[in-house]
């Protein structure tokens, strides 16, 4: 898989990523498997990971300012 920004090689890594859920709610997902470019900061989520992330986001309390979740495969 190639990076669509710079054409660099994408590799699978496990990282922590923040997601802005709403104007005031930020969710940090820990230990998330992503494909990351070796040359630039571009990354992408595989479809099955994205589906699970969305399911987790739907359960987050919208009143919270910061939620930290662990992505469990
Ligand atoms: Zn790149």
Give the tens place of pLDDT for each residue, 7-35.
Answer: 999 999 999 999 999 999 999 999 999 99
Alpha-carbon distance values, 11 to 21, 43, 66 (Å): 26, 9, 29
CATH of the domain at 21: 3.10.20
Q: What is the extent of the structural domain holding 52?
A: 10-70
Look at residue 73 and tell me whether its pLDDT is greater than 80: no
Distance 45 CA to ligand 1 centre (A): 14
Positive or negative, the CA dihedral 67, 54, 11, 36 is negative
Mean pLDDT, the chain, rounded, equals: 94
CA of 43 to the centre of ligand 1 (A): 8
Element (H, E) at 53: helix 47-58
59 Cα–ligand 1 center, Å = 32
Q: Would residue 3 count as lying in a domain?
A: no
Q: What is the pLDDT of residue 46?
A: 94
User: How many other C-beta atoms lie within 10 A of the C-beta of residue 32?
Assistant: 21
Is 46 part of a structural domain of the chain?
yes
12 CA to centre of ligand 1 in angstroms: 13
Domain count along the chain:
1
Q: How far is the CA of 46 from the centre of ligand 1 (A)?
A: 16
């Amino acid at each position: 898989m190639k990076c669509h920004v710079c054409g660099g090689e994408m590799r699978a890594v496990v990282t922590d990523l923040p997601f802005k859920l709403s104007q005031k709610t930020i969710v940090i997902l820990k230990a998330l498997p992503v494909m990351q470019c070796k040359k630039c900061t571009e990354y992408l989520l595989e479809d099955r990971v994205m589906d699970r992330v969305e399911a987790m986001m739907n359960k987050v309390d919208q009143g919270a300012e910061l939620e930290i979740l662990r992505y469990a495969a």
